């Protein structure tokens, strides 16, 4: 499922008990970190048992289905002699002999403390010592301490015995809400809960500061108007402003590498790769951030094609898990909704995010042969939110000015 993934939600079974399946036939849809994925069958055989129901959340490494091949069951790629056939083919989590053996193994190994790199990093961010971690009872596979276990420990202010499952709702402040008779109540979907929890966590972790700057991009706007048709024919992709924004940001990140960082406890991780995430609105009102890896190595055509592909697959729900991971900096183009500016929340574990506002025509002071005059120009406002723990105003402001210069001095001789 990818590095750092510890669990996934079974969203839809595509097969049923007793059904014959072939190699690579889709078995189940699972959801993790806002991405839905299909899991294919590794073998040909007959589905004996679905261990988890739709909506349940297995951990990475747990068995979710049993498949019989040549009269033997395949469990996690290893064959075992089958049990007597069960009459019911409805999913039954407690009926799995594998789950029972795992629970027994976990109970026998409670003295072992198994911590994933992700949890270890989060523990450092919250200032937890090894002694603090030793107080947490791991509820994951083989007594592994999970993110839920860590959150439970922090929220309860002490040892967490694993009996209460921490959910996304625990990230919301408790308050009394008056409901009127004509009010509608709509349950948040899974993605919206994840976004909410992620945003609240970011505000708790990072010391947010936002700087603003206006840029005159009149030459860029004129260049795009002149070249968008020929660009579409050549690149088979529409020429929007977003690829230009990505290019400008990538260049500035190479100049100001201390923006392209992650905080881990008392350490700063300086990333060599420049991986730019692009906030993408979905048709259901939710948000996802696909990542263009090594954006500084792409030309404008390559950025445009990759952006178009990622955005289309984001909206169709076919992004791969690795395509929303590994970002080192995020941009959001709020100008497409005619917003002047905003104060974006940092996409953890990154240290900065840049919002591009709408492009408006306004009177602007321009230099002439006789001094300065006033002309109508195309102006955009940039808003950079950054983590003041590691990025001070001078660095943040210098980076923002660099991005603006890259846009203002765009090479209009390019075709």
Instruction: Based on the residue annotation, tell me whether 170 is a catalytic residue of this protein.
Output: no
β-partners of residue 288 are: 280
CB 149 within 8 A of CB 139: yes
Q: List the one residue out of 78, 83, 79, 52 whose CA is nearest residue 65.
A: 52
Residue 349 preceded by cis peptide, ω within 30: yes
β-partners of residue 208 are: 387
- DSSP labels, 334-394: GGGGT-----PPP-TT-SEEEEEEEEEEEEEEEEETTEEEEEEEEEEEEEEEEETTT--HH
Alpha helix locations (H) across 157-277?
A: 190-205, 218-235, 241-255
What burial class does residue 118 get, using C-beta atoms within 10 Å of its C-beta: 0-12 exposed, 13-18 middle, 19+ buried? Answer: middle
| Neighbouring C-alpha atoms within 13 Å toward the C-beta of 72 | 10
Instruction: Based on the residue annotation, tell me whether 388 is a catalytic residue of this protein.
Output: yes
- Angstrom distance (rounded) from CA 260 to CA 225: 32
Among 24, 112, 189, 392, the one annotated catalytic: 392
CB 63 within 8 A of CB 92: no
Among 36, 168, 296, 388, the one annotated catalytic: 388
CB 259 within 8 A of CB 399: yes
Please tell me whether residue 89 adopts helix, strand or coil conformation: coil
Catalytic residue positions, numbered:
388, 392
């Amino acid at each position: 499922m990818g590095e750092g993934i510890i669990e996934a939600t079974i969203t839809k079974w595509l097969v049923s008990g007793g059904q014959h399946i072939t190699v690579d036939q889709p078995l189940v849809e699972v959801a993790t970190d806002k991405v839905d994925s299909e899991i294919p069958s590794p073998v040909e055989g007959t589905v004996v048992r679905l261990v988890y129901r739709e909506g349940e959340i297995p951990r990475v490494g747990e068995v979710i289905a049993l498949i019989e091949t040549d009269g033997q069951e395949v469990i996690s790629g290893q064959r075992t002699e089958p049990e007597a056939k069960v009459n019911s083919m409805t999913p039954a989590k407690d009926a799995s002999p594998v789950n029972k053996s795992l629970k027994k193994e976990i109970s026998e190994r409670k003295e072992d403390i198994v911590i994933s790199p992700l949890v270890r990093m989060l523990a450092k961010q919250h200032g937890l010592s090894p002694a603090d971690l030793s107080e947490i009872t791991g509820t994951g596979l083989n007594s592994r301490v999970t993110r839920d276990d860590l959150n439970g420990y922090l929220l309860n202010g002490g040892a967490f015995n694993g009996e209460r499952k921490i959910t996304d709702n625990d990230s919301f402040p408790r308050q009394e809400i008056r409901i009127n008779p004509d009010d509608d109540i709509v349950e948040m979907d899974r993605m919206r809960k994840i976004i909410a929890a992620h945003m609240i966590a970011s505000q708790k972790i990072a010391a947010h500061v936002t700087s603003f700057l206006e840029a005159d991009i009149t030459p860029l706007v004129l260049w795009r108007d002149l070249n968008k048709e020929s660009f579409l024919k050549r690149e088979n992709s529409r020429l929007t402003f977003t690829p230009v924004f990505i290019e400008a940001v990538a260049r500035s990140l190479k100049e100001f590498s201390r923006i392209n960082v992650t905080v881990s406890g008392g350490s700063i991780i300086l990333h060599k790769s420049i991986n730019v995430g692009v906030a993408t609105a979905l048709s259901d009102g939710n948000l996802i951030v696909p990542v263009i890896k090594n954006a500084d190595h792409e030309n404008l055509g390559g950025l445009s094609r990759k952006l178009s592909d990622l955005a289309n697959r984001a909206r169709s729900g076919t992004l791969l898990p690795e395509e929303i991971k590994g970002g080192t900096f995020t941009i959001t183009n709020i100008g497409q909704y005619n917003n002047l500016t905003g104060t974006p929340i940092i996409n953890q574990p990154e240290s900065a995010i840049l919002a591009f506002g709408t492009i408006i025509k306004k009177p602007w002071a321009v230099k002439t042969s006789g001094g300065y005059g006033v002309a109508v120009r195309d102006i955009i406002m940039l808003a950079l939110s950054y983590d003041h723990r590691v990025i001070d105003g001078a660095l943040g402001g210098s980076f923002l000015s660099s991005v603006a210069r890259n846009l203002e001095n765009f090479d209009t001789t390019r075709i």
